[in-house]
Structure 1
């Protein structure tokens, strides 16, 4: 029953719209949740797998992909608040692989056509994705550095790095940077590197640090870098869509799949699994300026810094498919700057995940929303069920 934060008949409209995507066969199932001023609505629709007998449930587990990024940023800021890391200190102490970098003279240069880095890489560079490596959005690959990243296995993609953290850093450190530290913006890789930094600075695996400092205190009991055997029955099968036929094919099974055992590399940029209620708890903590109930994870100052745009106009203009002229980037997440859609409220923060997830929080409306599906994104453009979810959420607000 509504307590006045959502309009009941418009919530029903939202249920029908989201159910329609499953009924039309666009995806096997989904779970969505919206929470506002203490009122939460969660819906589970469809099945865990195509032609499967197991229905989606409120506690179904999904690979949340890049919704991992804000969590890693929070982990890093915990260490900053304890003065174990500093935003603008060189990371060389913990990440010697990134010391004494060489930088390509231009993004399309040969790998040997370099100049010395103008300064050391910092944690701020990593969290804002300005350290010098990441997704270069030119397809098919045209630049030597793109091919080199592919050969090293570190091109940002749905296929997570499967070696160790040390092997990942060795691969990153073997390549020249595509731009000087702090100057450009390249998606993804900085948060994977941030996860390694957190683990090394904390002196424990990233999964253990996150469990002790974030997941445990917030009651996120189903969030981690893999799904234990006793929970794998709740993990949704992941699918990708064939571009020619439009049909869905299995990308990753639940039982025996990539997330059914502990990974060698705990990817801070995209390696977590979670549930709707778990991620809502994380979002409510951020909306609470670092606090949820009696648990304080971060200070108000840290959350405000993380959710403030950190990019220059030139950096945002260089990545139009990510920022669309209406948003920027804070620490590990997007920040809305201009209202040009129902949901694009200035100050709203969060991100989307390439395995089929979308999670944002809106301080102005005290709204948190999470959409969990199991169909991989086809392009950087949001699929219809993403836009319909957010349109429906905002049309239902009182």
Structure 2
């Protein structure tokens, strides 16, 4: 039988050809079973990683944002099948850039509107970039926005991006990208608050997440770990490019849905424990159990599952902003319905309501070695149960 000594060993092992430092914690039904920090937050200073170390979340931001949005769904603020244009009128007449056999594109009206569920499930048709018509058009829109207004807000971006023809008819394919910016924008429209303020008041403060946010406060800046680029020879080089820390400055305007938060292992352990324990945290009800069940319900059809899955995500589907386990026979030893997500710099969360179990792992490294590290952590944790 595995025990947590194996997890300690693994965390030390990955420092040899991976991050400079990392943190990992596991909790079940409100009790912390494991919490350790290995390595250093900065190679030059040699300062050790601790529970107070702060990590750039990148796409694990999506877990918090989609949780906040689902809290508004259960308050009757919107429905998943609502067209997004009901909240953003600029998106009423969505166009599709359809590729032709000769390599050209034909821009035509979409067969149906983009629905809110398409935004949650990454089926709305704008990704994170590319050389195709859609993504070249998106880059032009953002460049024009920067030229016209300088630093722009999420709402300004959403309104401007409405003119971009999407890559396919909404709901027909899976494409990782802009959907969660629309989800964050939806939070702002229906709550009347900025997404950062809403998450702070409705999620972070009730969960005592005192080290999480979009913009620096207190001594957060000093506690941030250094992001490293892992080179082919195994050496590590500090990489300001992947840090994008200018967006954390207090005066920065943009707060995104797909990335943008910083946090600690303990803060995200609180978030994931709430989700694993039916929406309750330390005796307080934060959100409904059945809303969490909806959040982790697969939203993809067979075609979309083929586009979504890769060796790292084998056996999983995709719900409202989270991967969700459908088929453990793919080599996953967690429960059906276990869910979570991963950040580009290596953050990882796994949430299992069946076991009231959650695990959080964090480092800041690119490439993040997710395919090697995360499944091994998960397998050890479940081996201890």
Same fold (TM over 0.5): yes
- 1:128 counterpart = 2:124: no
Match of 1:361 in 2: 351
- 1:391 counterpart = 2:379: yes
Name which of 51, 61, 64 aligns with 2:44: 51
Does the aligned pair in 1 maintain the 2:181–2:258 contact within 8 Å?
yes
Please report the TM-score for the alignment, with normalisation by the length of structure 2: 0.89
Residues 334 and 100 of structure 1: CA distance in aligned 2, closer, same or farther (over 3 Å) = same
Does the aligned pair in 2 maintain the 1:126–1:191 contact within 8 Å?
yes
SS at match of 1:85: coil
Per-residue CA deviation, residues 198-218 of structure 1 (Å, 9 max, x unaligned), is 112211111111111111111
Residues 130 and 102 of structure 1: CA distance in aligned 2, closer, same or farther (over 3 Å) = same
- Structure 1 residue 109, shift from structure 2 partner: 8.7
SS at match of 1:298: coil
Match of 1:334 in 2: 323
Residues 10 and 245 of structure 1: CA distance in aligned 2, closer, same or farther (over 3 Å) = closer
Match of 1:230 in 2: 219
SS at match of 2:61: helix
Please report the TM-score for the alignment, with normalisation by the length of structure 1: 0.86
Q: Which structure shows the higher helix fraction?
A: 2
**Cα distance in 1 between the residues matched to 2:50 and 2:182:** 34
- 1:77 counterpart = 2:65: no
Match of 1:3 in 2: none
- Structure 1 residue 336, shift from structure 2 partner: 0.7
Per-residue CA deviation, residues 322-367 of structure 1 (Å, 9 max, x unaligned), is 8744110111100011113244432110011002111111233332
CA RMSD of aligned residues (A): 2.7
Residues 198 and 117 of structure 1: CA distance in aligned 2, closer, same or farther (over 3 Å) = same
Name which of 245, 256, 275 aligns with 1:267: 256
- Structure 1 residue 80, shift from structure 2 partner: 1.6
- Structure 1 residue 220, shift from structure 2 partner: 1.0
Q: Please give the residue correspondences for 1:13-28 in structure 2 after superposition, counting only pairs within 5 Å.
A: 13-22=6-15, 24-28=16-20
Q: Note the residue ranges of structure 1 that are not aligned, 5 or more in a row.
A: 1-6, 155-160
Match of 1:218 in 2: 207
SS at match of 1:105: strand
Match of 1:348 in 2: 338
Match of 2:147 in 1: none
Per-residue CA deviation, residues 237-265 of structure 1 (Å, 9 max, x unaligned), is 11223457753332369897543435321
Residues 183 and 28 of structure 1: CA distance in aligned 2, closer, same or farther (over 3 Å) = same
- 1:42 counterpart = 2:35: yes
Residues 106 and 345 of structure 1: CA distance in aligned 2, closer, same or farther (over 3 Å) = farther
SS at match of 1:218: coil
Q: Note the residue ranges of structure 2 that are not aligned, 5 or more in a row.
A: 144-149
Q: Please give the residue correspondences for 1:126-275 in structure 2 after superposition, counting only pairs within 5 Å.
A: 126-135=119-128, 141-153=130-142, 163-243=152-232, 247-251=236-240, 258-275=247-264
Instruction: Give the length in aligned residue pairs.
Output: 377
- Structure 1 residue 33, shift from structure 2 partner: 0.5
Does the aligned pair in 2 maintain the 1:28–1:46 contact within 8 Å?
yes
**Cα distance in 2 between the residues matched to 1:70 and 1:278:** 13
Residues 150 and 389 of structure 1: CA distance in aligned 2, closer, same or farther (over 3 Å) = farther
Does the aligned pair in 1 maintain the 2:17–2:234 contact within 8 Å?
no
SS at match of 1:35: strand
- 1:60 counterpart = 2:53: yes
Deviates more, 1:58-67 or 1:340-349: 340-349
Does the aligned pair in 1 maintain the 2:105–2:133 contact within 8 Å?
no
**Cα distance in 2 between the residues matched to 1:294 and 1:279:** 18
Deviates more, 1:215-224 or 1:48-57: 48-57
Per-residue CA deviation, residues 173-198 of structure 1 (Å, 9 max, x unaligned), is 12101111222111131111110111
Deviates more, 1:254-263 or 1:42-51: 254-263
Does the aligned pair in 2 maintain the 1:91–1:98 contact within 8 Å?
yes
**Cα distance in 1 between the residues matched to 2:91 and 2:102:** 20
Deviates more, 1:189-198 or 1:73-82: 73-82
- Structure 1 residue 315, shift from structure 2 partner: 0.9
Does the aligned pair in 1 maintain the 2:315–2:332 contact within 8 Å?
no
- Structure 1 residue 230, shift from structure 2 partner: 2.2
